[in-house]
Chain A
Amino acid sequence: MAETALTNPEKSPAQSAGWKGIAADWSSDQRAFKNVSWGKAMMWIFLLSDTFIFSCFLLSYMTARMSTTVPWPNPSEVFALEIAGHHIPLILIAIMTFVLISSSGTMAMAVNFGYRRDRVKTAVLMLVTAALGATFVGMQAFEWTKLIMEGVRPWENPWGAAQFGSSFFMITGFHGTHVTFGVIFLVAIARKVWRGDFDHGRRGFFTSRKGNYEIVEIMGLYWHFVDLVWVFIFAFFYLW
């Protein structure tokens, strides 16, 4: 990243901490985010905007659910499965949650090995993460299929308030799309890591610039965010 024009080490002497540090970092003509490359800062800002998008979805769902006079379908029953003759409430969603959390764990370790320049371990852990993500999407496809077969539509369902279907398809669909793009992103970066692009300073296809292992952390930020959103969806949509 030495070629980044934004880096200006001469003008950043001692950096103070606490509130003084915030004022110093944000004031006058300079970079506000010290120690953070533009790539990482931009990913954080993108994630902030995505936070607002998912907040709006969850808020509209909350508003629909609180204002309807028709009873809301009980998610605990709707998402129950019969496994080996046992009726287990919400089990599919619980398994999906564990799969996504596990993928976050492997992603965090991939970032760690990336910074240790362990090419093989990083790529393998990223591919495991991608596989877990694909598993999650597969289970979601199963869940959608099951609900559609049972007659859930965005405009009606057999159990109660019509908004259940529209909220469900909108929220989980948008989240599933994020996971799908994350899997594609993961495979693309894992390929670069595996090939040793960041060890040999190979230039990127689109940017013609040398990358470094920080892209694994930036990728990780996106992936952990997808997991983070699921934490909120799990709490508000499935457990309410």
Chain B
Amino acid sequence: MTEAALHLEGRREQLHTHVPDAAVSGAVHAEGQQHPIKLYLVVWGWLFVLSTFSYLVDYFGLQGYLRWSLILLFMVLKAGLIVAVFMHMAWERLALSYAILLPPVLVLVFVAIMVFESEYTHLIRVLFFAAPT
């Protein structure tokens, strides 16, 4: 979308100005998010397929790194689809997306800290509190 067009649009519409990204998808009108129903059905189908896959990981009793990488892969794909399409994050401006999506990344630091901490606790428990055999 050109600058001139944006200027014109910006004056006419009060709240829902055209988002450049959404203009590319060609589906956003003055009133909120407009996408074809088919998009939601396709995502819905994928969520079903991915859930089935993660259930099958348990059903077939896969273990070790294979189990973990598959579970995390399916989890991240499902979460991504829900946030991007169902919650329309893919069509929001980056200022909002980054404000919401970046802070949870810091939780990973917390995870790393607690992994070290729990391994230390586990070691201490094994050394000093394990039942005498």
Chain B nearest Cβ from A215, distance in angstroms: 11
- Which of B15, B57, B96 contacts A7 (CB under 8 A)? B15
Q: How far apart are A63's CB and chain B's nearest CB, in angstroms? A: 5
Cross-chain contact B58 with A9 (CB below 8 angstroms):
no
A108 at the interface (CB under 8 A from B): yes
Looking at chain B's contact residues, the main secondary structure is: helix
**Which of B17, B71, B126 is A12 in contact with, Cβ under 8 Å?**
B17
Bound-state Cα–Cα, A22 to B13, Å? 22
Contact B118 A62 (CB under 8 A): yes
Given A12-B17, A104-B86, A231-B78, A52 and B107 touching (CB < 8 A)? Answer: yes
Interface residues on A, range: 35 or more
A2 touches B14 (CB 8 A): yes
Cα distance A217–B32 in the bound complex, in angstroms: 9
Contact with B along A5-40 (1 / 0, CB 8 A): 001010011110111011001100000111111000
- Say whether B15 contacts A105, CB under 8 Å: no
Compute how far the CA of A21 lies from the CA of B98 in the bound complex, rounded to whole angstroms. Answer: 12
State whether A35 touches B19 (Cβ < 8 A).
Answer: yes
Interface residues on B, range: 35 or more
Least Cβ–Cβ distance between A167 and chain B, in angstroms? 13
Proximity string of chain A (58-71) to chain B, C-beta cutoff 8 Å, 1 when within and 0 when not: 01001110111100
Q: Complex: how many Å from CA A19 to CA B57?
A: 40
Contact indicator A63/B96 (Cβ below 8 Å): no
Scan residues 135-185 of chain A and give those whose CB is less than 8 A from a CB of chain B: none
Complex Cα distance, B68 from A196, in Å, reads 49
CA distance A102 to B40 in the complex (A): 11
* Chain B residues with CB below 8 A from A78, complex form: none
Contact status B93-A89, CB under 8 Å: no
Q: Are A213 and B32 in contact (CB under 8 A)?
A: yes
Q: Are A105 and B96 in contact (CB under 8 A)?
A: no
Please judge, given known A-B contacts A63-B117, A97-B55, whether A44 and B110 are in contact too, CB under 8 Å: no
Please measure, in the bound complex, the distance between the C-alpha atom of A13 and the C-alpha atom of B119, giving whole angstroms.
54
Return the contact of B51 from the options A12, A47, A101 (Cβ within 8 A): A101
Chain B interface residues (CB < 8 Å from chain A): 3, 6-7, 10-11, 13-17, 19-21, 31-35, 37, 40-41, 43-44, 47-48, 51, 54-55, 57-59, 61, 67, 71-72, 74-75, 78-79, 82-83, 85-88, 92-96, 98-100, 103-104, 107, 110-111, 114-115, 117-119, 121-122, 125-126, 129-130
With A15-B20, A112-B40 given, can you name 9 additional A-B contacts, CB distance below 8 Å?
A9-B14, A33-B99, A34-B93, A52-B107, A66-B119, A105-B40, A105-B44, A108-B43, A239-B67
Which 7 residue pairs across A and B have the least CB separation, nearest first?
A105-B44, A25-B95, A66-B118, A67-B121, A67-B118, A235-B75, A115-B32
